[in-house]
Amino acid sequence: MTSYGEHAEACPVPVDFLSALYRAGPNEFTAMSAGLTGPIKIELAVYCYGRAHFRDLGLAIARTCDAADLSRLAGVMGQVLFAQSRGRIAEFGREGQSAAGRRRVTLAKSAA
C-alpha cells in the first residue's frame, strides 16, 4: 500500500468503476463496494476523500471499513475517515447527495 500525504495520486480502481460507484444508488453502492478488498477499499476511501467532489463517496466507502484496518493502512487519515464516516447519518446516493452532502455557501461582508 502506498503512503498517504493528503491523498493517493492514482485512482486505485478503474475510472469506469469509480464513475459507476459515484452514480450508484444506495443498494447498488452496497453491492459494488462489497466486491472490493479491504486494502483497495481503504485506498479508494482516501483517494475520494482527498477530492472535494468525491468527499461524500470517500466517507461512504470508509463507513464500510473496519476502524483498525483504516488506522493500520491509512494512519491518521484512516482515523479521521473512520470518525467522520460514523458521524454522518445520511446514506450516499443520488437522493442524499444534494440535500445532505452540500453545505450552504455564505459570502463575507465587506467592512465598509
**Identity at 40, one-letter amino acid code:** I
In this model, does residue 67 exceed pLDDT 90? yes
d(CA 112, CA 108): 12
Contact 46, 77 (CB under 8 A): yes
CB atoms within 10 A of CB 51: 13
pLDDT, position 110: 58
Q: Specify the pTM.
A: 0.70
Is residue 97 scored above 50 in pLDDT? no
- Which residue reads 470517500 in cell numbers? 58
